[in-house]
Chains A and B, each alone.
Chain A
Amino acid sequence: MSARGLSMSFGAFSAVRNVDLDVHHARVHALIGPNGAGKTTVFNLLTKFLTPTGGTITFMGTDITRLPPDRVARMGLVRSFQISAVFPHLTVLDNVRVALQRPNGLATQFWRPLSALDSLNERADRLIAAVGLSEARNAMAADLSYGRKRVLEIATTLALDPKVLLLDEPMAGMGGEDVAVVAGIIRNVARDRAVLMVEHNLKVVADICDHVTVLQRGEILAEGDYRTVSEDPRVRAAYMGTEEA
């Protein structure tokens, strides 16, 4: 996936200016920057939850700049949200099954009983086990701890078997142990797909990301591997006093 000259203005305020971004297969790419830099907005643009005011986005050779968000998701460009997005009054199992329903052709049958969805259980359970939620399988998503909601969201995202995975602060608000678990999951899934993630925890970025793009006030400030970027004086200046630099 690549974006060229991506721009977004809200009225007179330009939140994203002229951003070029290339996301590659089998690579974890981090998008970092101070609060309000425009990271979430970039995510919204790439997944078409917002339509860019300028620039183009191509995904596997197709121009997706004007496609609706659900189309883009069906093509394999799937996101998670900064504010955890689960279906609160569904169980963990049902959350994952909802994600599995469409790709398995079980979304439109209004005449079949719910037990028709049991054929998805095996795959759903595997995904739930992969993120360590097996014993919470039948719990309501609303009753999970914050960190567990985040991993549930990752499991539902993975259920779509996406080609590109966009994760908006997947580890925000998690305890140290959970962070390590999720970092492991991300590394693992990135072996055969592309991952773009927003992350504030620079240690995580250093550990698992192959490539880093730094955004500041809607513009790209620096780009490269973690070491190069972290030694860049402009990046140090941008982070000084604002973040956990």
Chain B
Amino acid sequence: MADMVETTASGERSATAQSIRIGFLLAGLAALAVAPLFLYPVFLMKLLCFALFACAFNLLIGYTGLLSFGHAAFFGGAAYFTAHAVKEWHLTPELGILVGVLGAALLGLVIGFFAIRRQGIYFAMITLALAQMFYFFCLQAEFTKGEDGIQGVPRGHFLGLLDLSTSTNMYYFTLAVFLVGLLVIWRFVNSPFGMILKSIRENEQRAVSLGYSVQYYKLGAFVMSAALAGLAGGTKALVFQFATLTDVTWQMSGEVILMTLLGGIGTLIGPVFGAGLVVTLQHYLATSDFPVTIVTGVVFMACVLLFRRGLVGEFYASRLGRRLGFAYRR
């Protein structure tokens, strides 16, 4: 894992570095806690949902080396599942999100099953093709309400107690979901299973020769990534109180790739910054005369040319980053 690895630096120095890293973490948490006092909560919630989505995507490309071009299916699919569950079945928000997560995981199992046998561009093409099939399913199916989408989704009461209809409550609920999601990713990456994933990425042939059925490990990572993308999508459906076709399009799959690349593949926190940048750009450009796609395109180009490792990746690899004990390996 690239984040928070202890270095070989001498004791005192690395102790200082560690306290600085912990300081960063606490400052980040504090900023998230007070952010709604300064910024528009719906904007922040959107940002958190996309940040979690990008982190889920990064779990696959950054830690397994698989480039999926179909992650919108899990994100947008879960949004539909959650919206349907809370609106039609009158489930509480946490159960509604659970339905979204399980639905996305199941979808991930099916798409992953067909895709993981292939590598590189073929893997990307199969995930794209299957995600497009899911898009057409959503377009045709009854419960998704076609072009209109599922509207007027009630946010309900968390655990039947906390009213989520106020944006402050909803913000902290979303923040909690986001942090839980990150914690799950962190644990997954730093676990015995994560160790095997890492070894597969390092030398797949050798992992096979040690008796590992690499396909199952890759499928496991794929399903986990899909489930977490679903967590983000389901939460987003509650935030905006609707689920539409936009979230299952291939453009959405492309956008999450963009966010992850911008922030830094294979760093736990990079995609959060990448998502932040893209969502912010979209937010402010939406009201200006600039065409959003062209500007994000230019920013993307500039970043790829200037920061090959992504924003956070470059920071980790810089002298300062390394002195603080961050490590960037690709």
B288 interface hit (Cβ, 8 Å): no
Q: Smallest Cβ distance from B258 to chain A, in angstroms?
A: 27
Please, what's the 1-or-0 string for B206-232, where 1 marks a CB less than 8 Å from any CB in chain A?
111111111000001000100000000
Q: Smallest Cβ distance from A239 to chain B, in angstroms?
A: 30
A50 interface hit (Cβ, 8 Å): no
Contacts of A98 in B (CB 8 A): 195-196, 199, 207, 210
Pair B193/A160 contact, Cβ less than 8 Å: no
Q: In the assembly, what is the distance between CA of A78 and CA of B210, in Å? A: 7
Pair A73/B211 contact, Cβ less than 8 Å: yes
Chain B interface SS verdict (over half): helix
Q: In the assembly, what is the distance between CA of A106 and CA of B191, in Å? A: 10
Pair A70/B195 contact, Cβ less than 8 Å: no
Please, what's the 1-or-0 string for A185-197, where 1 marks a CB less than 8 Å from any CB in chain B?
0000000000000
Q: Smallest Cβ distance from A97 to chain B, in angstroms?
A: 8
Pair B205/A107 contact, Cβ less than 8 Å: no
Pair B188/A110 contact, Cβ less than 8 Å: yes
Known: A102-B211, A102-B212, A108-B193. A86 touches B188 (CB 8 A): no
Pair A69/B208 contact, Cβ less than 8 Å: yes
Q: Smallest Cβ distance from A44 to chain B, in angstroms?
A: 10
Pair A89/B202 contact, Cβ less than 8 Å: yes
Q: Would you mind naming 6 contact pairs between A and B with Cβ atoms under 8 Å apart?
A: A85-B209, A94-B195, A98-B195, A107-B212, A108-B192, A109-B192
B155 interface hit (Cβ, 8 Å): no
Contacts of B203 in A (CB 8 A): 85-88
Q: Which of B163-213 contact A (CB under 8 A)?
A: 187-188, 190-196, 198-199, 202-203, 205-213
B308 interface hit (Cβ, 8 Å): no
Tell me how many residues of B have a C-beta within 8 Å of chain A: 26
Q: In the assembly, what is the distance between CA of A159 and CA of B228, in Å? A: 35
Pair A99/B193 contact, Cβ less than 8 Å: no
Contacts of A69 in B (CB 8 A): 208-209
Across the A-B interface, give the 6 residue pairs with the lowest CB-CB distance, nearest first: A73-B211, A110-B193, A87-B202, A85-B206, A74-B211, A98-B199
Contacts of B283 in A (CB 8 A): none
- The stretch that binds B, out of A23-31, A56-64, A113-121, is A113-121
Q: In the assembly, what is the distance between CA of A101 and CA of B211, in Å? A: 11
B90 interface hit (Cβ, 8 Å): no
Pair B209/A112 contact, Cβ less than 8 Å: no
A146 interface hit (Cβ, 8 Å): no
Q: Smallest Cβ distance from A54 to chain B, in angstroms?
A: 23
B319 interface hit (Cβ, 8 Å): no
Q: Smallest Cβ distance from B273 to chain A, in angstroms?
A: 24
Among B194, B211, B213, B214, which residue has its beta carbon within 8 angstroms of that of A110? B194
B329 interface hit (Cβ, 8 Å): yes
Q: In the assembly, what is the distance between CA of A69 and CA of B209, in Å? A: 7
A156 interface hit (Cβ, 8 Å): yes
A13 interface hit (Cβ, 8 Å): no
Pair A117/B192 contact, Cβ less than 8 Å: yes
Pair A81/B208 contact, Cβ less than 8 Å: no
Q: Smallest Cβ distance from A29 to chain B, in angstroms?
A: 19
Pair B187/A73 contact, Cβ less than 8 Å: no
Q: Which of A71-106 contact B (CB under 8 A)?
A: 73-74, 78-81, 85-90, 94, 97-99, 101-103, 106
Contacts of B208 in A (CB 8 A): 49, 69-70, 73
Pair A111/B205 contact, Cβ less than 8 Å: no
Pair A107/B209 contact, Cβ less than 8 Å: no
Q: In the assembly, what is the distance between CA of A107 and CA of B199, in Å? A: 11
Pair B193/A114 contact, Cβ less than 8 Å: no
Among B187, B196, B209, which residue has its beta carbon within 8 angstroms of that of A78? B209
Residue ID in chain B nearest A100 by CB atoms: B210
A7 interface hit (Cβ, 8 Å): no
Q: Which of B236-255 contact A (CB under 8 A)?
A: none
Q: In the assembly, what is the distance between CA of A90 and CA of B196, in Å? A: 11
Q: In the assembly, what is the distance between CA of A65 and CA of B212, in Å? A: 19
Q: In the assembly, what is the distance between CA of A211 and CA of B207, in Å? A: 30
Pair B206/A73 contact, Cβ less than 8 Å: no
Contacts of B194 in A (CB 8 A): 110, 114
Known: A86-B206, A87-B199, A98-B199. A109 touches B212 (CB 8 A): no
Task: Given contacts A88-B203, A110-B188, A110-B220, list 16 more A-B pairs with CB under 8 A.
Answer: A49-B205, A49-B209, A69-B208, A73-B209, A78-B211, A85-B203, A86-B203, A89-B202, A98-B207, A102-B196, A106-B192, A107-B192, A110-B193, A110-B224, A113-B190, A114-B192
Residue ID in chain B nearest A162 by CB atoms: B211
Residue ID in chain B nearest A47 by CB atoms: B209
Please, what's the 1-or-0 string for B124-168, where 1 marks a CB less than 8 Å from any CB in chain A?
000000000000000000000000000000000000000000000
Pair B209/A114 contact, Cβ less than 8 Å: no
Residue ID in chain B nearest A80 by CB atoms: B209
Q: In the assembly, what is the distance between CA of A9 and CA of B165, in Å? A: 69
